[in-house]
Amino acid sequence: MIHHGLDGGGLWTLSRGLARQRQRYYNYLQAADAGLAALCQFFLETVLDQIQFMSSLLGLSALRTRVERYFQFETLHLKLYREALMRVVRTLIDEGEISRTRVQEITGKGATVSAEIIKLGLQEGLIESPSPKGPLQPGFPPKILEFYFPQLYVDLPIDGPDWSAGSVGSGPG
């Protein structure tokens, strides 16, 4: 997420996990001289809790579906190449990075049309590239964040539910 400019405003931090279990953290910290292993286990459990928390917020298993819905409902202004661009973006979400020549394979279009699809994706911010001829990566412009990651924008308490149970509270999903 940080690589794509989405640091999440500190959503995933060890500090957040420790704040949710402040007294337990202090107890382990006080006992650390006698049993460092217990403190280490506590830290690892807290990290796992925060990974599960972020995993439930990101909902990566359903991200592909949210990308498809975004293209169905939010890109009506893209008359030309909308379906092809969706396939490219979906592939980028799945794979993280692809070569520009791969767009031809994904879309079944020739080099000229594939270049137009890439150009459109870059203009919309749905595709990024480190250079004019470099590989393609998924783009995450502000206009899509709530659509792709709706749970990231729900107000969540510090002392919230047990994330390891997979619960993220109520809100859009």
| pLDDT surpasses 50 at 167 | no
For the stretch 38-41, contacts whose Cβ atoms lie closer than 8 Å and that sit 24 or more positions apart, written own/partner, are none
Question: With bands split at pLDDT 50, 70 and 90, how would you rate the model's confidence at 169?
Answer: very low
* Cβ neighbours, 10 Å, residue 118: 19
pLDDT digits 0-9 by tens, 50-86: 888 888 877 878 888 899 999 988 888 888 899 999 9
The residue ranking higher by pLDDT, 38 or 8, is: 38
| Token output for 7 | 């640091």
- Among 148, 165, 167, 146, CA closest to 157: 167
Give the Cα separation of 149 and 134 in Å (integer).
27
pLDDT digits over 119-163, tens only?
A: 999 999 999 999 999 999 999 988 888 888 887 766 655 555 554
Q: Is the pTM of this model over 0.75?
A: no
